[in-house]
Amino acid sequence: MSKGLGTLILLGGMMGIIVLMSPKAEAEEIPAHIPTVDEIMASNTIVRLEAYRNLINDLFLIERIDQPAYQELHDAYTTRFYELVG
Q: What is the predicted pLDDT for the residue at 34? A: 92
- Kindly report the backbone phi and psi dihedral angles of residue 25, in degrees, each rounded to the nearest multiple of 5, phi listed first: -70, 135
CA distance readout (Å), 16 to 6, 11, 13, 19, 82: 15, 9, 5, 5, 37
| Domain ranges within the chain, ordered by starting residue | 27-85
pLDDT in tens, 14-69: 666 665 565 554 555 655 689 999 999 999 999 999 999 999 999 999 999 999 99
pLDDT in tens, 33-42: 899 999 999 9
pLDDT band at residue 73 under the 50/70/90 scheme: very high
Angle between helices 46-61 and 67-85 (to 10 degrees): 170
pTM exceeds cut of 0.85: no
